[in-house]
Amino acid sequence: MILGPRWIRSLVCILVVFAVPQTARTDQQVKGLPGVAAPRSVVVELQDALGHATERLQARDEAGVLSHVSDRYRSAGLTKPAIREQLHALLAIYDSLQAKVQIDEARAVGEDVWVYSTGEVSGRVRGLGMWMPIYSWKREPEVARRERGVWRLYGDQK
Protein backbone atom coordinates (compact mmCIF):
# COMPACT_ATOMS: atom_id res chain seq x y z
CA MET A 1 0.00 0.00 0.00
CA ILE A 2 1.43 3.38 -0.98
CA LEU A 3 1.14 6.05 1.69
CA GLY A 4 0.34 9.42 0.11
CA PRO A 5 1.66 12.73 1.42
CA ARG A 6 -1.79 14.27 1.99
CA TRP A 7 -2.98 11.61 4.45
CA ILE A 8 0.37 11.50 6.23
CA ARG A 9 0.29 15.28 6.68
CA SER A 10 -3.27 15.02 7.97
CA LEU A 11 -2.28 12.29 10.41
CA VAL A 12 0.71 14.27 11.56
CA CYS A 13 -1.42 17.37 11.99
CA ILE A 14 -3.35 15.38 14.56
CA LEU A 15 -0.11 15.53 16.50
CA VAL A 16 1.00 18.96 15.46
CA VAL A 17 -1.82 21.27 16.12
CA PHE A 18 -0.08 24.10 17.94
CA ALA A 19 3.04 22.23 18.94
CA VAL A 20 4.82 25.47 19.75
CA PRO A 21 3.57 28.93 20.67
CA GLN A 22 2.97 31.39 17.88
CA THR A 23 5.66 33.89 17.16
CA ALA A 24 5.11 37.42 15.94
CA ARG A 25 4.78 37.69 12.16
CA THR A 26 5.30 40.68 9.92
CA ASP A 27 2.35 42.02 7.93
CA GLN A 28 3.97 40.63 4.80
CA GLN A 29 4.17 37.12 6.28
CA VAL A 30 0.45 36.98 7.08
CA LYS A 31 -0.68 38.83 3.96
CA GLY A 32 -3.14 36.69 2.08
CA LEU A 33 -3.80 34.23 4.93
CA PRO A 34 -7.40 33.89 6.09
CA GLY A 35 -8.69 35.13 9.45
CA VAL A 36 -6.79 36.61 12.37
CA ALA A 37 -4.06 35.33 14.69
CA ALA A 38 -5.51 32.63 16.98
CA PRO A 39 -5.88 33.70 20.63
CA ARG A 40 -3.25 32.49 23.09
CA SER A 41 -5.91 30.57 25.06
CA VAL A 42 -6.70 28.53 21.95
CA VAL A 43 -3.00 27.86 21.42
CA VAL A 44 -2.70 26.50 24.97
CA GLU A 45 -5.74 24.22 24.52
CA LEU A 46 -4.36 22.86 21.30
CA GLN A 47 -0.93 22.29 22.82
CA ASP A 48 -2.64 20.05 25.39
CA ALA A 49 -4.39 18.17 22.57
CA LEU A 50 -1.05 17.78 20.82
CA GLY A 51 0.51 16.28 23.94
CA HIS A 52 -2.27 13.72 24.21
CA ALA A 53 -2.22 12.84 20.51
CA THR A 54 1.57 12.42 20.58
CA GLU A 55 1.33 10.09 23.58
CA ARG A 56 -1.30 8.03 21.78
CA LEU A 57 0.81 7.73 18.63
CA GLN A 58 3.89 6.68 20.57
CA ALA A 59 1.73 4.15 22.45
CA ARG A 60 0.53 2.87 19.05
CA ASP A 61 -3.06 3.56 20.12
CA GLU A 62 -4.92 3.81 16.81
CA ALA A 63 -8.26 4.71 18.40
CA GLY A 64 -6.60 7.32 20.63
CA VAL A 65 -4.95 8.98 17.65
CA LEU A 66 -8.16 8.93 15.63
CA SER A 67 -10.09 10.52 18.51
CA HIS A 68 -8.35 13.74 17.43
CA VAL A 69 -10.01 13.59 13.99
CA SER A 70 -13.60 14.72 13.41
CA ASP A 71 -16.02 12.10 12.11
CA ARG A 72 -16.89 14.80 9.55
CA TYR A 73 -13.26 15.23 8.47
CA ARG A 74 -12.79 15.76 4.76
CA SER A 75 -9.85 17.32 2.98
CA ALA A 76 -9.16 16.97 -0.74
CA GLY A 77 -11.29 13.81 -0.79
CA LEU A 78 -9.60 12.30 2.28
CA THR A 79 -12.00 11.17 5.04
CA LYS A 80 -11.62 9.80 8.57
CA PRO A 81 -12.16 6.19 7.41
CA ALA A 82 -9.33 6.61 4.89
CA ILE A 83 -7.07 8.04 7.61
CA ARG A 84 -7.97 5.04 9.83
CA GLU A 85 -6.99 2.61 7.06
CA GLN A 86 -3.71 4.39 6.37
CA LEU A 87 -2.84 4.68 10.08
CA HIS A 88 -3.43 0.95 10.43
CA ALA A 89 -1.00 0.33 7.55
CA LEU A 90 1.56 2.73 9.01
CA LEU A 91 1.46 0.92 12.37
CA ALA A 92 1.96 -2.38 10.54
CA ILE A 93 5.05 -1.16 8.67
CA TYR A 94 6.77 0.74 11.50
CA ASP A 95 7.17 -0.53 15.05
CA SER A 96 7.83 3.00 16.32
CA LEU A 97 6.98 6.49 15.03
CA GLN A 98 8.24 9.99 15.79
CA ALA A 99 6.98 13.38 14.63
CA LYS A 100 8.80 16.71 14.81
CA VAL A 101 6.66 19.68 13.91
CA GLN A 102 6.83 23.45 14.10
CA ILE A 103 3.76 25.63 13.81
CA ASP A 104 4.49 28.46 11.41
CA GLU A 105 1.16 30.27 11.76
CA ALA A 106 -2.26 29.75 13.37
CA ARG A 107 -5.24 31.72 12.07
CA ALA A 108 -8.75 31.80 13.51
CA VAL A 109 -11.39 31.79 10.79
CA GLY A 110 -14.82 31.71 12.41
CA GLU A 111 -14.97 28.52 14.48
CA ASP A 112 -12.05 27.00 12.58
CA VAL A 113 -8.33 27.41 13.18
CA TRP A 114 -6.07 27.15 10.16
CA VAL A 115 -2.73 25.73 11.25
CA TYR A 116 0.29 26.18 8.98
CA SER A 117 3.08 23.80 9.97
CA THR A 118 6.49 22.52 8.95
CA GLY A 119 7.74 19.15 10.08
CA GLU A 120 8.75 15.58 9.48
CA VAL A 121 7.69 12.08 10.46
CA SER A 122 10.07 9.16 10.82
CA GLY A 123 9.57 5.53 11.71
CA ARG A 124 11.54 2.47 12.72
CA VAL A 125 10.95 -0.25 10.14
CA ARG A 126 9.47 -3.36 11.69
CA GLY A 127 11.89 -6.28 11.59
CA LEU A 128 14.86 -4.20 10.43
CA GLY A 129 15.17 -1.86 13.41
CA MET A 130 16.38 1.04 11.28
CA TRP A 131 14.87 4.52 11.42
CA MET A 132 13.89 6.23 8.21
CA PRO A 133 12.13 9.44 7.19
CA ILE A 134 8.55 8.89 6.05
CA TYR A 135 7.40 12.36 5.08
CA SER A 136 8.34 16.01 5.49
CA TRP A 137 6.53 19.24 4.61
CA LYS A 138 6.88 23.01 4.78
CA ARG A 139 4.22 25.53 5.70
CA GLU A 140 1.24 23.31 4.85
CA PRO A 141 -2.27 24.16 6.13
CA GLU A 142 -4.72 21.98 8.07
CA VAL A 143 -8.00 22.97 9.72
CA ALA A 144 -8.97 22.24 13.36
CA ARG A 145 -12.36 22.80 14.99
CA ARG A 146 -13.73 22.39 18.51
CA GLU A 147 -16.37 19.63 18.64
CA ARG A 148 -18.22 18.87 21.87
CA GLY A 149 -15.53 20.81 23.76
CA VAL A 150 -12.58 18.97 22.17
CA TRP A 151 -10.24 20.19 19.41
CA ARG A 152 -10.26 17.87 16.40
CA LEU A 153 -8.98 18.00 12.85
CA TYR A 154 -11.81 19.01 10.59
CA GLY A 155 -10.16 19.35 7.19
CA ASP A 156 -10.80 21.94 4.51
CA GLN A 157 -14.09 20.21 3.52
CA LYS A 158 -13.13 20.08 -0.17
Identify the pLDDT of residue 18. Answer: 30
Q: Could you give the CA distance from residue 84 to residue 69 in angstroms, rounded to a whole number? A: 10
Q: Which domains does the chain have, with CATH numbers?
A: 5-21+35-153 (3.10.450.50)
pLDDT (0 to 100) of residue 10: 54
φ, ψ of residue 122 in degrees (nearest 5): -130, 160
Let me know: does 120 contact 102? Beta carbons within 8 Å. no
Query: Which helix (H) or strand (E) is 118 found in, with range?
Result: strand 112-125
Q: What is the pLDDT of residue 1?
A: 42
DSSP letter for 130, please: -
pLDDT at 123: 93
Nearest to 25 by CA among 136, 118, 107: 107
Coil vs helix vs strand at 124: strand
pLDDT tens, N- to C-terminus, the chain (158 residues): 444 555 555 555 554 433 333 333 433 345 678 899 999 888 778 777 877 887 787 889 999 999 999 999 998 888 999 999 989 999 999 999 988 777 777 889 999 998 787 778 889 999 999 999 988 889 888 899 999 999 998 988 77
Q: Tally the residues of the chain.
A: 158
